[in-house]
């Protein structure tokens, strides 16, 4: 049976929900206060899970210190204290919903993590709203 190992990191960012092909009124109607043109922000909590078999010599599925370093270098460095819409290349044409942020993070990390490990992302936008990709 396989084991899942998880590392939690966090970043603080500004964003707005916005579909550029819609009018401001349509954005306001669909996204409400989340579409504020001056942005709002969140403390995002990011959980990255790898699933695999423990190494016989180390007893690790994956060294979580190494995973933490990878998350910090590839995700936190470009998302923390940033405006997701303006300061990152990912959300020029993609709405930075928690769903889309999770998929972007998964796509970045999937290139860094050996394919013998399954990869899952859980992202808290607030304590009461969170998403998981892929769904269990």
Binding site for its own copies (CB under 8 A): 1-10, 12-15, 17, 19, 30-34, 36, 38-43, 51, 54, 57-61, 64-65, 68, 80-83, 86-87, 94-100, 102-103, 118, 126-136
Q: How far is the CB of 41 from its own copies (least distance, A)?
A: 1
Distance (Å) of CA 32 to CA 17, 27, 52, 68: 9, 7, 42, 35
Q: How far is the CB of 47 from its own copies (least distance, A)?
A: 9
Q: Which of 24, 40, 53, 81 is catalytic?
A: 81
Distance (Å) of CA 69 to CA 8, 17, 65, 83, 97: 12, 29, 6, 22, 25
CA distance 127 to 41: 14
Q: How far is the CB of 112 from its own copies (least distance, A)?
A: 18
Q: Which of 10, 34, 45, 99 is catalytic?
A: 34
Among residues 74 and 88, whose Cβ is nearest to its own copies?
88
Query: Is 42 an active-site residue?
Result: no
CA proximity to 27, closest of 77, 95, 123 = 95
What residue has token string 């995973």? 67
Q: How far is the CB of 8 from its own copies (least distance, A)?
A: 4
The token pair that represents 59 in the structure block: 């007893």
CA distance 133 to 124: 12
Query: Is 99 an active-site residue?
Result: no
Query: Is 125 an active-site residue?
Result: yes
Query: Which residues are catalytic, by number?
Result: 34, 81, 125
């Amino acid at each position: 049976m396989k084991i899942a190992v998880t590392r939690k990191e966090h970043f603080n960012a500004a964003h707005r929900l916005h579909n550029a092909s819609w009018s401001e009124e349509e954005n306001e109607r669909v996204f409400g206060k989340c579409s504020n043109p001056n942005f709002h922000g969140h403390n995002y909590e990011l959980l990255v899970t790898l699933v695999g078999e423990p190494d016989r010599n180390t007893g690790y599925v994956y060294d979580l210190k190494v995973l933490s370093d990878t998350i910090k270098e590839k995700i936190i460095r470009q998302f923390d204290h940033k405006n997701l819409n303006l300061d990152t290349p990912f959300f020029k044409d993609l709405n930075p919903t928690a769903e889309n942020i999770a998929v972007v993070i998964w796509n970045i990390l999937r290139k860094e993590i050996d394919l013998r490990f399954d990869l899952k992302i859980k992202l808290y936008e607030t304590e009461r709203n969170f998403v998981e990709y892929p769904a269990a």
